[in-house]
Amino acid sequence: MHFVHMKDMDHIAPSLDEIEELARETVANFPLPFRERAQAVALCVAEFASDEILEEMEIEPFELTGLYDGIPLTEKSNWDVPRGPDTVWLFRRPILDEWAERGNVTIAELVSHVTIHEFAHHFGWSDDDIASIDQWWH
Protein backbone atom coordinates (compact mmCIF):
# COMPACT_ATOMS: atom_id res chain seq x y z
CA MET A 1 0.00 0.00 0.00
CA HIS A 2 1.38 3.41 -0.96
CA PHE A 3 0.53 6.47 1.10
CA VAL A 4 0.84 10.04 -0.03
CA HIS A 5 3.46 11.88 2.02
CA MET A 6 1.62 13.65 4.85
CA LYS A 7 2.93 17.11 3.96
CA ASP A 8 1.38 16.76 0.49
CA MET A 9 -2.10 16.02 1.84
CA ASP A 10 -3.20 19.62 2.05
CA HIS A 11 -3.70 19.67 -1.70
CA ILE A 12 -5.79 16.52 -2.01
CA ALA A 13 -8.56 14.85 -0.05
CA PRO A 14 -6.96 12.01 1.94
CA SER A 15 -8.39 8.51 1.82
CA LEU A 16 -9.81 6.59 4.76
CA ASP A 17 -6.42 4.90 5.23
CA GLU A 18 -4.57 8.22 5.18
CA ILE A 19 -6.94 9.73 7.77
CA GLU A 20 -6.32 6.65 9.93
CA GLU A 21 -2.56 7.02 9.49
CA LEU A 22 -2.74 10.66 10.64
CA ALA A 23 -4.85 9.64 13.66
CA ARG A 24 -2.45 6.83 14.59
CA GLU A 25 0.49 9.26 14.39
CA THR A 26 -1.38 11.54 16.79
CA VAL A 27 -1.91 8.70 19.28
CA ALA A 28 1.74 7.64 18.94
CA ASN A 29 2.72 11.15 20.05
CA PHE A 30 0.50 11.24 23.15
CA PRO A 31 2.42 11.60 26.45
CA LEU A 32 3.42 8.12 27.64
CA PRO A 33 0.73 7.52 30.31
CA PHE A 34 -2.02 8.51 27.85
CA ARG A 35 -0.42 6.71 24.90
CA GLU A 36 -0.40 3.36 26.70
CA ARG A 37 -4.09 3.58 27.58
CA ALA A 38 -5.05 4.99 24.17
CA GLN A 39 -3.46 2.05 22.38
CA ALA A 40 -6.06 -0.24 23.98
CA VAL A 41 -8.83 1.66 22.14
CA ALA A 42 -9.90 0.63 18.64
CA LEU A 43 -9.49 3.38 16.04
CA CYS A 44 -11.87 3.27 13.08
CA VAL A 45 -12.42 5.62 10.16
CA ALA A 46 -15.61 5.66 8.07
CA GLU A 47 -17.04 8.03 5.49
CA PHE A 48 -19.94 9.01 7.79
CA ALA A 49 -21.49 7.93 11.09
CA SER A 50 -24.17 5.26 10.76
CA ASP A 51 -27.79 6.30 10.33
CA GLU A 52 -28.49 4.75 13.73
CA ILE A 53 -25.91 7.00 15.46
CA LEU A 54 -27.10 10.10 13.60
CA GLU A 55 -30.74 9.38 14.51
CA GLU A 56 -29.85 8.69 18.14
CA MET A 57 -27.88 11.96 18.38
CA GLU A 58 -30.48 13.83 16.29
CA ILE A 59 -27.84 15.38 14.00
CA GLU A 60 -27.09 15.58 10.31
CA PRO A 61 -24.28 13.51 8.70
CA PHE A 62 -21.87 16.42 8.21
CA GLU A 63 -22.21 17.57 11.82
CA LEU A 64 -20.25 14.67 13.33
CA THR A 65 -16.49 14.51 12.68
CA GLY A 66 -15.69 12.00 15.41
CA LEU A 67 -17.19 9.90 18.17
CA TYR A 68 -16.00 8.03 21.23
CA ASP A 69 -17.97 4.82 21.75
CA GLY A 70 -17.23 3.23 25.09
CA ILE A 71 -17.12 3.72 28.83
CA PRO A 72 -14.76 6.51 29.92
CA LEU A 73 -11.89 5.33 32.12
CA THR A 74 -13.23 7.45 34.98
CA GLU A 75 -16.47 5.42 34.91
CA LYS A 76 -15.13 1.91 34.34
CA SER A 77 -15.58 -0.73 36.98
CA ASN A 78 -14.28 -4.25 37.38
CA TRP A 79 -17.93 -5.26 37.36
CA ASP A 80 -18.59 -3.88 33.87
CA VAL A 81 -19.50 -6.50 31.31
CA PRO A 82 -17.59 -5.67 28.14
CA ARG A 83 -19.92 -5.00 25.22
CA GLY A 84 -17.04 -4.61 22.80
CA PRO A 85 -13.85 -2.62 22.64
CA ASP A 86 -13.87 1.09 23.33
CA THR A 87 -13.67 2.73 19.93
CA VAL A 88 -12.75 6.15 18.60
CA TRP A 89 -14.49 6.83 15.30
CA LEU A 90 -13.38 9.45 12.80
CA PHE A 91 -15.69 10.39 9.94
CA ARG A 92 -13.82 11.33 6.78
CA ARG A 93 -16.41 13.32 4.82
CA PRO A 94 -17.41 15.64 7.71
CA ILE A 95 -13.69 16.14 8.50
CA LEU A 96 -13.01 17.05 4.87
CA ASP A 97 -16.01 19.37 4.83
CA GLU A 98 -14.80 21.20 7.95
CA TRP A 99 -11.25 21.36 6.57
CA ALA A 100 -12.47 22.98 3.35
CA GLU A 101 -14.81 25.32 5.24
CA ARG A 102 -12.12 26.47 7.69
CA GLY A 103 -9.37 26.95 5.15
CA ASN A 104 -6.94 27.95 7.91
CA VAL A 105 -5.73 24.57 9.22
CA THR A 106 -3.97 21.65 7.62
CA ILE A 107 -5.75 18.33 7.27
CA ALA A 108 -3.18 16.83 9.66
CA GLU A 109 -3.99 19.49 12.28
CA LEU A 110 -7.72 18.89 11.98
CA VAL A 111 -7.45 15.09 12.13
CA SER A 112 -5.13 15.41 15.12
CA HIS A 113 -7.55 17.73 16.88
CA VAL A 114 -10.56 15.48 16.30
CA THR A 115 -8.53 12.45 17.43
CA ILE A 116 -7.39 14.17 20.62
CA HIS A 117 -10.93 15.39 21.33
CA GLU A 118 -12.41 11.89 21.05
CA PHE A 119 -9.65 10.30 23.14
CA ALA A 120 -10.24 12.99 25.78
CA HIS A 121 -13.73 11.51 26.17
CA HIS A 122 -12.11 8.08 26.68
CA PHE A 123 -10.04 9.60 29.48
CA GLY A 124 -13.23 10.92 31.10
CA TRP A 125 -13.26 14.55 30.01
CA SER A 126 -16.59 16.20 29.17
CA ASP A 127 -17.05 18.55 26.21
CA ASP A 128 -17.01 21.44 28.71
CA ASP A 129 -13.70 20.20 30.20
CA ILE A 130 -12.18 19.99 26.72
CA ALA A 131 -13.52 23.43 25.71
CA SER A 132 -12.04 25.02 28.83
CA ILE A 133 -8.52 24.25 27.62
CA ASP A 134 -9.04 23.97 23.87
CA GLN A 135 -10.63 26.91 22.08
CA TRP A 136 -10.38 25.19 18.66
CA TRP A 137 -14.11 25.15 17.90
CA HIS A 138 -14.68 28.84 18.76
Q: Kindly state whether residue 5 falls inside one of the protein's structural domains.
A: no
Q: Kindly state whether residue 80 falls inside one of the protein's structural domains.
A: no
> Strand order of the sheet with strand 66-69?
42-46, 87-91, 66-69
Spatial separation of the C-alpha atoms in residues 111 and 23, rounded to whole Å: 6
User: How much is the pTM?
Assistant: 0.83
pLDDT digits (tens, 9 = 90+) for 14-70: 999 999 999 999 999 988 888 888 988 999 999 999 999 999 999 999 999 999 998
The phi and psi torsions of 133 (rounded to 5 degrees) equal: -115, -10
Strands 42-46 and 66-69: unpaired
pLDDT mean over 114-122 = 92
CATH, residue 90:
3.30.2010.20
pLDDT, position 81:
64
pLDDT, position 115:
94
Distance of CA 116 to the CA centre of its chain: 6
Its domain, for residue 104, covers 14-71+85-130
Q: Kindly state whether residue 77 falls inside one of the protein's structural domains.
A: no
Non-local (6+) Cβ contacts of 131 within 8 A are 137, 138
Q: How many domains does the chain have?
A: 1
DSSP H or E segment with residue 116:
helix 107-122
136 pLDDT higher than 70: no
Shortest CA distance to 91 belongs to which of 135, 130, 43?
43
pLDDT digits (tens, 9 = 90+) for 59-116: 999 999 999 998 888 777 666 666 778 999 999 999 999 999 998 999 999 999 999 9
Q: Kindly state whether residue 37 falls inside one of the protein's structural domains.
A: yes
Q: Kindly state whether residue 21 falls inside one of the protein's structural domains.
A: yes
Q: Kindly state whether residue 8 falls inside one of the protein's structural domains.
A: no
Q: Kindly state whether residue 79 falls inside one of the protein's structural domains.
A: no
